[in-house]
Structure 1
Amino acid sequence: MAIPGEIQSVQRAVSVLRAFALADEWSTSSLGRELGLHKSVVHRLLVTLAKGGLLRQDERTGRFRLAPAMVSLGRRAEHSHDVLGIARPLLQQLVEASQETVSLGVLQDDHGVCLANVDSPQSMRFTISPGDSFPLNAGCVGKVILAFQPPPFVEALLAAGPLARFTDRTLAEPAALREELARIRAQGYGFSDAEITPGARSVGAPVYDADGEVRYSLVISAPSLRLTDERVPAFVDLVCEAAATLSRELGHLPATGGGPLSRSSDVPAV
């Protein structure tokens, strides 16, 4: 029986996927008996999941097995768990050093998502919650990740339609965004001033994984009255050092004489 608020078809699909923890493959009839569902219902679920790339059907036997995409999803879930375990102490240290809110963002499809955060201890603070979604063209969580994606990814995002605009400072024009992304790559960090929320500022740095790819951004966010122009360089140093540490702990080895863990020593005026 479905729990109130659940979608029955999704609940059944979850039951189907969980059944593959019990056996490598299932026929429609045997899985129906296992789950207590009619054979026709199970068949529709299996075919739908196969079309979605989560299962595959053996053409000879007609039985269903998990598709390679499930292996990829499992590895990503395991990796995310490891990232959180490694990142949380670093986030806490960065909050203690900055006294401002710190968040770890992750790339998800065409947007950024807050994976973890620690709020500022100050009563007036910028609050971010795990699961919050951010556009890639505005704010440090998204811009820092986008800056280090392959050019085809960036161009596909720009070609998908008008970029979201939140304030008069949002980078919603492709030319301006390309210029900003180039600046972030050159400097090794990003800066945002009221691009999503008026009165909010942030500085962020890329976090590299063991494959040398940027899927994460580490960001300090604060009210503009505290994150003043004079304090930006110190905050940039803090976030870049923490991002470099997290990258190393995730297994990234920067190239000698430069690379993702080094940045320009000159912090431009903001």
Structure 2
Amino acid sequence: MTKQTAKTTERSLAIINTIQELGGATLDELVDEVDISRSTIHLHLRTLLDKGYLTKEGAVYQIGLRFLNHGEYARSQKRAYTLAKQTVTELSDQIDEEVEFVVENNGRGILVHESFHPDSHIPSKERHLSTAPSAAGIYYDLHCVATGKAILAELPAERVETILDNWGLPRQTANTITERAVLSQELEQIRERGIAFADEEYVDGLREVGRPVKEPDGNVLGAIAIIGPKYRFTDNRYTDELPDILTQYVDELETEIESTYVDELSR
């Protein structure tokens, strides 16, 4: 059954996404890229510009800072997200590696918090792929990162199939899993141990160790991953030491989250 959607909203979102993908766009460029009439695009641009969701520099439209207000509100609305940020920072400080907290959004993983230790000597995952000053808000395909696989392992099978139907298994590196049967087998292993690995599956040279973060009701809140260069993530450190440290921090985080829920219910 096809869900009903608001076409006007869909058109605005298509324009916004295209502007971001192009790094700014003129009206002519949007007409070439978006399957919407010129007059309709212009009307959407004028409305978004008037409301502060877009800015205009000469003939080029850019994403406006009003989205930052909404994004920061989304990150702060859940107390659990704030607690996860503290865990990410503390864990990164202890192990001197990049740590990320990712949640599932519309079938993909969105980076909510990242801590990149200043003494580390390798650029973060996103600095390999993006010139953006902040990695927060960047989307990942779930099948090729440790956080994503940790989340997928906790979702119902029907939800996993829907995600894979919508987004597929695009290849990022030679090590990316691109077959559903292989991914399904690995998700089963993740459920058994509670730890997900990504071995140069998103960026060449980087390894990741991830673990799901669960809410008190058992649903998955998101996942935390430790990320670093293959030459430092070797042997026992990669397979046992880092997973044990990550498990300890996530267990403590889940305990804090549960305490927060209990406090809120008792008010």
| Pairwise same-fold verdict (TM > 0.5) | yes
| Stretch deviating more after TM superposition (237-246 or 100-109) | 237-246
TM-score normalised to structure 1 length: 0.64
* 2:15 paired with 1:9: no
Gap change, CA 1:144 and 1:80, over 3 Å in 2: farther
Shift of 1:161: 5.9
* 2:211 paired with 1:205: yes
Q: Distance in 2 between matches of 1:185 and 1:80?
A: 29
Q: Distance in 2 between matches of 1:108 and 1:179?
A: 23
Q: Distance in 1 between matches of 2:251 and 2:50?
A: 44
* 2:234 paired with 1:228: yes
Pairwise CA RMSD of aligned residues? Answer: 2.8
List alignment gaps of at least 5 residues for structure 2: 1-23, 26-43, 54-69, 127-134, 261-267
Shift of 1:155: 1.4
Shift of 1:230: 2.2
TM-score normalised to structure 2 length: 0.65
Give the match for residue 136 of structure 1.
Answer: 142
Gap change, CA 1:96 and 1:161, over 3 Å in 2: closer
Task: Letter of the 1:168 partner, please give it.
Answer: A
Q: Distance in 1 between matches of 2:168 and 2:123?
A: 31
* 2:223 paired with 1:185: no
Give the match for residue 95 of structure 1.
Answer: 92
**In the alignment, is the contact (CA less than 8 A) between 1:125 and 1:222 conserved in 2?**
no
Q: Distance in 2 between matches of 1:171 and 1:252?
A: 38
Q: CA deviation digits over 1:206-234, x for unaligned, max 9?
A: 00123221131010000000011221211
Select 1:109's aligned residue among 103, 106, 109: 106
**In the alignment, is the contact (CA less than 8 A) between 1:210 and 1:252 conserved in 2?**
no
| Stretch deviating more after TM superposition (166-175 or 153-162) | 153-162
Select 1:244's aligned residue among 248, 251, 261: 251
Task: Letter of the 1:229 partner, please give it.
Answer: D
Q: Distance in 1 between matches of 2:85 and 2:121?
A: 22
Q: Distance in 2 between matches of 1:161 and 1:78?
A: 24
* SS of residue matched to 2:227: strand
Q: Distance in 2 between matches of 1:188 and 1:240?
A: 8
Gap change, CA 1:158 and 1:240, over 3 Å in 2: same
Shift of 1:78: 7.5
Give the match for residue 79 of structure 2.
Answer: 82
- Asked which structure has the greater CA Rg, the reply is 1
Give the match for residue 64 of structure 1.
Answer: none
Q: CA deviation digits over 1:99-147, x for unaligned, max 9?
A: 1001100110110011001102212243442112110111112111111
Alignment of 1:45-64 (within 5 A): none
* 2:182 paired with 1:176: yes
Q: CA deviation digits over 1:63-112, x for unaligned, max 9?
A: xxxxxxxxxx9xx9376442332122221221122110011001101100
Give the match for residue 218 of structure 1.
Answer: 224
Q: Distance in 1 between matches of 2:199 and 2:75?
A: 35
Gap change, CA 1:7 and 1:82, over 3 Å in 2: farther
Q: CA deviation digits over 1:148-174, x for unaligned, max 9?
A: 011110111233364111112111100
* SS of residue matched to 1:115: strand
